[in-house]
Structure 1
Amino acid sequence: MKYQNEEPQQPQGSKPATPTSAAASRREERDNEYRQRILATATELFQKQGIDCVTMYQLAQEAGVGQGTLYRRYTHLGEVCSDLLHTTFESFLQELEDSVAATAPEVPAMQQLAGMIERSIDFIDQKASLLNTIHSMYTEKKSYIIHEKPIFRRLHELIRPLLVRAVEQGEIRDIDITLTINTLLVALTPNQYLYHRDVLGYDKIRFRQGICRLFVEGL
């Protein structure tokens, strides 16, 4: 979807007015609108053309923002990718955390874990190609430890209490909780899902059932 350029232009030679509280609020609202528009357009272009084929000029044109506006927010396409990755994961994690918080305490811990796995695989199925492409763009350029990434730390914090409770209440035998969570999270990375789907021919249901047999029923 191509947006019209609706960015207000400052009259040439005029001095910017001192922002009032209302004006600052409107500017913040407009800036957020531009950011959302840029990220939505970037997602669409990346999916259609691939990241390597998209330019900052094209992104500004399609998003309907001036190049100055785009470059004030992102100095290069890598920063757009980083923000898109962060925003996508943040939205998913917030939904997951809200779901865990809203679950009744009498629901068995392993049932909650199975639900978390299902939600995670649904998310990965929808976003895997885009996320894996952006992820690879960064990991090829610098060394990293996957379990130190913020998303893994937050998922680890969500899963650990469930497994601790499952052990304490006798749902599962005593296990190495840290190793179990780390192994589960590696199994749920986008590249693992894409390999099983695109190379080995797994569909989403088969992949989910296999993960649950290992990390829910198998414990």
Structure 2
Amino acid sequence: MSGAGVRQVQKAATRERVLVAARELFATQGYEGATIRQIATLAGVSVGSVFTTFASKGQILSEVMKARLEALYAELDQVIPHLRGSTADRLRSMFALHFDFEIRHVQLFLAHIAAAYDWTLGPDARPFGRNPRLKGLVEDCLTAGVASGDVDRATDVSGVVDLLMAAYAWTYRLAAWENASAAQMIAVMDRQIGLIAAGFSPR
């Protein structure tokens, strides 16, 4: 293997070690609590190596979540075409799948939400809210509802997407403060979707 090939292998190995260490620290200490120095120490690499591989802590978290969420969206891609019922019912099913998935590593997802409020993040980071897949799924569901006549044509779809995303993120406070289960959070989100749906249902 050439010198360049060896360096590429070493860089890939460093990247993987950093992601594994970061996933553990974000899950146990949260986004603010985990530092680059701690990540580097746990990964067994230098702080400089971390910054050579990633632009910021926010980008590291984004990569950790991207790897995790691939499994969720693979599942959703199979399930969504088979969802039936009203637009509100389909939204409830989609968010329920998210809660069931994220409760397995809820502290990591709370870190993902917390990163959304880090104003220093660059455009390379993808904290909660910048995830195009979730927003896209919700928007597609609402747009299909408009096409079928289940959602009022005058509905501000983008505004409703924002409301649903906000409700979803806010519901995780129950996991942070009350150690709520997925079922408890789903029940709260179901009610919130019902309230929001009352505003976009045809008159």
* Shorter-chain TM-score range: 0.5 to 0.7
User: Structure 1 91/115 Cα, relative in aligned 2: closer, same or farther at 3 Å?
Assistant: farther
Matched, 1:129 2:107: yes
Matched, 1:154 2:133: yes
User: Structure 1 53/67 Cα, relative in aligned 2: closer, same or farther at 3 Å?
Assistant: closer
Question: CA–CA distance in 2 between the matches of 1:199 and 1:104?
Answer: 31
Give identity over the alignment, percent.
19
Alignment length (residue pairs): 188
Question: CA–CA distance in 1 between the matches of 2:93 and 2:74?
Answer: 13
Aligned partner (choices 39, 61, 64) of residue 88 of structure 1:
64
Question: CA–CA distance in 1 between the matches of 2:115 and 2:83?
Answer: 40
Matched residue type, 1:122: D
Aligned partner (choices 18, 21, 42) of residue 41 of structure 1:
21
Aligned partner (choices 144, 148, 170) of residue 165 of structure 1:
144
**1:187 matched residue in structure 2:** 167
Matched, 1:98 2:78: no
Larger radius of gyration: 1
Do the aligned partners of 2:116 and 2:128 also contact (CA within 8 Å) in 1? no
CA RMSD, aligned part only?
A: 3.9
Query: 5+ unaligned residues in a row in structure 1: which ranges?
Result: 1-16
Question: CA–CA distance in 2 between the matches of 1:107 and 1:66?
Answer: 48
Deviation sequence 1:97-131 (CA, Å, 0-9, x none): 43343347454264543332022223443444344
**2:188 matched residue in structure 1:** 210
Do the aligned partners of 1:118 and 1:208 also contact (CA within 8 Å) in 2? yes
Deviation sequence 1:40-63 (CA, Å, 0-9, x none): 11232344456546462x543432
- TM-score normalised per structure 2: 0.67
- TM-score normalised per structure 1: 0.63
Matched, 1:31 2:11: yes
Do the aligned partners of 1:124 and 1:193 also contact (CA within 8 Å) in 2? no
1:48-127 equivalences under 5 Å are: 48-49=28-29, 51-52=32-33, 54=35, 56=37, 58-66=38-46, 69-74=49-54, 79=56, 81-103=57-79, 105=81, 107-108=83-84, 110=87, 112-127=90-105
Question: CA–CA distance in 2 between the matches of 1:130 and 1:123?
Answer: 12
Question: CA–CA distance in 2 between the matches of 1:53 and 1:102?
Answer: 35
Question: CA–CA distance in 2 between the matches of 1:98 and 1:179?
Answer: 27
Deviation at 1:206, TM superposition (A): 1.8
Question: CA–CA distance in 1 between the matches of 2:194 and 2:80?
Answer: 19
**2:200 matched residue in structure 1:** none
